[in-house]
Each structure stands twice: as C-alpha cells, then as structure tokens.
C-alpha cells in the first residue's frame, strides 16, 4: 500500500523544507546549529502542520543520530523510561547521543516531564519537543531551562501554493497524471494553513478522478472535501484544538462561536459523549455559582443524548452550548478547590477540631471527640458561629464569590454570617 502523499512529500534536507526561513535559511539560527553538529535540546513551538515533526526526523537523519520518537498523547512515564534505557544501552563509546523526539510535549504531566530531566541533564539524549502551546506555560521550568525554544510561524499562502505545485510536479504518483489547478482557494481554506492537511486534501481530490486528466477548481474541491469530513482527526491536534476553541468560546460568552465549533465536531464525527463531558466540566469550571442550573442542564443533555442518540441529540447539545455561552460566568468554585488543594499539599494532615470529629465509641467521647459541637439547625437562621477549619487555617478564605448577581447575594449572606472573619 502506498504511503500518504504528505509522507511521500516529506523533505529530506533543509533546502526542501517549506517555510520557516527565519530558522532554516542560509545563515539562520537553527540551520547554523544543525550544521555545527552540536545541537542542544530544544523545543519547537508552532501551529499544526508547519513541519515540527519533519524537522526533528530530518535533523536526526542529517546528523546520522539514532532517533527515538514518542507521542505524549499515548505515552506515560514507563514509556519514557524504557525509551531512555534503550537509548543508553544502544550508545557506544564516543558515539553521538541519540535524539528523543516528544510530539505534543505539552500534554505530558509534571511527573512525565520530570522523568526526562536526568537524561537531558546528563546528555543521555538530546531532547526535541514539539508543542502547539506556549511552552512557558506548559513545560516545567526545570526542563524548559535546559532547552532552547524555536518558534515556527504559520505557513503563508505562497508557501502552501508552492507545496501543492511541487507535489503535482514531483510526487511519484501525481506527476503521472495531467493535473490542472485552476483555483487554489478552497484547498487552502480546508487546510487551515496545515501543510499535512493540505496534501491530504489534494490527494483526496485527485483520487476522485478516474481519468488521467484532473482539473481542480474551488467548486470541485468543496464537493469532495465536504463528502470526506474524515479530515477532522479525532485523535490528533485538530481534535484538541477544536475542543479548546469550543470551551473558550463558551467561557468568552459567544454562543455563535460555541455553536460553530460544536458543528465542527459533530460534522467531523466526534464522540457525542466527549462533547457532553466537556460541557459538564465547563458548567462547573466557568459558570459555577453564577448559575448553578448550568450543571443540571448539562447533565440532563448528556442523559438526553444517551437516550435519543444522534443526529437528534445535536439539538439538545446545541441548546446546552447556547445556554452555557449565554450564562453569567464565575470560576470561583474552581479557584476555591485549587487553593484548598494547594493548602492541603502545603500543610499536610492538620488536626481536625475536636467538635467536628465523629464519636461512635465511648472512648472517643471520653477524648472529647464531638464535644461542644453545635447543631446549626437548632439556631436562628440555621447558623452558629463556630470554628470549622483546623487551627492553623482559621480565617483562611478559599472561596471568593464572583462578581455577578447570584454570587453578590452569596457574598452578602456570608458577610452577614461571618462578619470580618473571612473578609467578605
């Protein structure tokens, strides 16, 4: 079976590499590093389909270095350690250290990134990471300080058109056909600036023509690509990018954008349960106490989708997306649990106040477990002023009500109850 066009067109040297002239042109910083043969560990940061993976594998081939690759999507600490052990065992005296390529390194947890540190520090491997996210936020500082960061830019229109023309004229299969490209706009639109998707789109379009003469225009591309929505990669970067755009549109209170990205996922065949789970999370993380009904709505929609299935389930999902995007926003509950967990990690297992302890046995009662506990419902307004936090955390505020109608009332109520204790 023939390799996909994008794989067949992978450049073999820097002169064939498309775009990123600021890095790989004659005299550019990364080219100088590569040509010196002494490459440091580095991270390639840029959007999908601009050549991060290609650059890493091409570099290893040019320098004749052993090359190991992992994807952060489906690799764990065990995989990293096994790969490092393999690199160590295959390294001989005075031989150059292997290159370890980690695709989507921003998806590695802290512990997974920590497992790379020793090998990078000792020079067991030269790490090349690829990320679509800002590494200063997604890569731990200890690892980031040991790596250079090179920024890859989106491919411009001329780069993408040049890539199409080169494929038509040089690819082992396409050059045997008579291909005329009347218009490029649709191909570029469906690629979204991603070179890999552009070549995949071109191959899909060409393969629809049974005859040797292939005439490509915007209308033909639109018809064919719309019928082949598998271009939405449910396991790759496109999956995460569109899901991210969906949630950020909800958080940004734009129901139009939220419904658009919902439609992108539905048309791409995304699992409806995945979409519903993301909305349930958003209901608590981004809306929370500003509108507690949001969580109920999202759980109801998840049940509705399970019961009625697709495509009708899309209607309920759209209702939830619009409801979430249109709701007032508050991340106060989300921030509260983050702060509380941080306090727990910092202070450890603090002693529970005696009045709050459970006292199922007489011995526990003799130790004053539960003594002086006051049952709130026996007091006016179902409230009694007593200490519920451990002594070391007395007066610590984790929950700060958001600025919205619902939480303004909550703040006023808490201030009335607790006076100045928590600073509400």
- Please state the domain count of the chain: 4
**Domain of residue 193, CATH code:** 1.10.8.60
Q: Which two tokens stand for residue 213?
A: 């003469």
E-only strand ranges, 65-224: 67-71, 99-103, 126-131, 148-151, 178-181, 213-216
Q: Same domain for 113 and 24? A: yes
**Residue 40 resides in a domain:** yes
Cis ω for the linkage preceding 311 (within 30 of 0)? yes
Q: Same domain for 256 and 312? A: yes
**Domain of residue 101, CATH code:** 3.40.50.300
Decide which of 231, 262, 282 is a domain's last residue: 231
Q: Same domain for 97 and 54? A: yes
pLDDT of residue 230: 45
For 295, the domain range is 237-326
Q: Same domain for 147 and 23? A: yes
Q: Same domain for 119 and 181? A: no
**Residue 74 resides in a domain:** yes
Q: Which two tokens stand for residue 128?
A: 């090349």
The torsion region of residue 253 among left (phi > 0), alpha (psi -120 to 50) and beta comes to left
Q: Same domain for 209 and 254? A: no
Q: Same domain for 135 and 241? A: no
Q: Same domain for 226 and 242? A: no
Task: Determine how β-strand 148-151 pairs with β-strand 67-71.
Answer: unpaired
pLDDT of residue 278: 92
Count the helix, strand and coil residues of the chain and give each as a percent rounded to the nearest 5: 55, 10, 35
**Residue 225 resides in a domain:** yes
Are 109 and 79 in contact by the 8 Å Cβ rule? The answer is no
Decide which of 182, 199, 231 is a domain's last residue: 231
**Residue 342 resides in a domain:** no
The CA-based angle 326-330-334, given to 5 degrees, is 130
pLDDT of residue 239: 65
**Residue 97 resides in a domain:** yes
pLDDT of residue 92: 60
Q: Same domain for 197 and 310? A: no
**Can you give the pLDDT of all 424 residues of the chain as single tens digits?**
467 888 888 887 787 788 888 888 788 888 888 888 778 888 888 887 788 888 888 888 888 888 888 887 777 778 888 888 887 776 665 667 888 888 888 878 787 888 888 888 887 888 888 888 888 877 888 888 888 888 888 888 888 888 888 888 888 888 888 888 888 888 888 777 788 888 888 888 888 776 778 888 888 888 777 665 544 455 455 667 788 899 999 999 999 999 999 998 887 777 788 899 999 999 999 999 999 999 999 999 999 988 887 788 899 999 999 999 999 999 999 999 989 988 888 888 888 888 888 888 888 888 888 888 999 999 988 998 998 899 888 889 999 898 988 889 998 998 988 988 888 8
Q: Same domain for 376 and 285? A: no
Decide which of 105, 123, 151 is a domain's last residue: 151
pLDDT of residue 172: 81
Q: Same domain for 129 and 173? A: no
**Residue 95 resides in a domain:** yes
Are 402 and 292 in contact by the 8 Å Cβ rule? The answer is no
The radius of gyration of the chain's CA atoms, rounded to the nearest angstrom, is 28
**Residue 139 resides in a domain:** yes
**Residue 70 resides in a domain:** yes
- Angle between helical axes of 237-251 and 255-267 (0-180°, round to 10): 160
pLDDT of residue 1: 46
Q: Same domain for 69 and 99? A: yes
Q: What is the 3-state secondary structure (H, E, C) of 322-333?
A: HHHHHCCCCCHH
């Amino acid at each position: 079976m023939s390799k996909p066009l994008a794989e067949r067109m992978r450049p073999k040297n820097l002169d064939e590499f498309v775009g990123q002239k600021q890095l790989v042109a004659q005299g550019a910083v990364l080219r100088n590093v590569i040509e010196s043969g002494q490459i440091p560990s580095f991270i390639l940061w840029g959007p999908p389909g601009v050549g991060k993976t290609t650059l890493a594998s091409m570099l290893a081939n040019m320098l004749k270095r052993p090359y190991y690759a992992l994807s952060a999507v489906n690799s764990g600490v065990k995989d990293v350690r096994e790969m490092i052990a393999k690199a160590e065992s295959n390294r001989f005296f005075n031989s150059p250290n292997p290159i370890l390529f980690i695709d989507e390194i921003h998806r590695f947890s802290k512990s997974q990134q920590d497992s790379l540190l020793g090998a990078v520090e000792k020079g067991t491997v030269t790490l090349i990471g690829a990320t679509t996210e800002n590494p200063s936020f997604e890569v731990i500082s200890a690892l980031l300080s040991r790596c250079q960061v090179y920024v890859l830019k989106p491919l411009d229109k001329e780069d993408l058109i040049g890539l199409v023309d080169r494929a038509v004229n040089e690819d082992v299969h396409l050059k045997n056909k008579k291909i005329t490209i009347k218009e490029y706009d649709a191909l570029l639109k469906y690629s979204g600036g991603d070179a890999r998707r552009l070549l995949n789109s071109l191959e899909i379009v060409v393969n629809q023509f049974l005859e040797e003469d292939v005439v490509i225009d915007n209308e033909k591309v639109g018809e064919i690509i719309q019928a082949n929505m598998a271009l939405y990669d449910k396991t790759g970067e496109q999956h995460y990018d569109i899901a991210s755009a969906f949630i950020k549109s909800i958080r940004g209170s734009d129901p139009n954008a939220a419904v658009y990205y919902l439609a992108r996922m539905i048309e791409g065949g995304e699992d409806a349960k995945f979409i519903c789970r993301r909305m349930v999370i958003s209901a608590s993380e981004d809306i929370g106490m500003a509108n507690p009904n949001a969580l109920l709505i999202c759980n109801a929609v998840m049940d509705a989708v399970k019961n009625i299935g697709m495509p009708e389930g899309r209607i309920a999902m759209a209702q939830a997306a619009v409801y979430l995007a249109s709701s007032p926003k508050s991340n106060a509950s989300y921030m509260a649990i983050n702060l509380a967990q941080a306090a727990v990690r910092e202070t450890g297992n603090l002693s529970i106040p005696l009045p709050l302890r459970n006292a199922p046995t007489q011995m526990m009662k003799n130790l004053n477990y539960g003594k002086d506990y006051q049952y709130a419902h026996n007091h006016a307004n179902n409230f009694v002023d007593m200490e519920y936090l451990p002594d070391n955390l007395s007066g610590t505020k984790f929950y700060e009500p958001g600025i919205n109608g619902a939480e303004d009332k909550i703040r006023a109520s808490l201030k009335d109850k607790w006076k100045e204790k928590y600073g509400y």
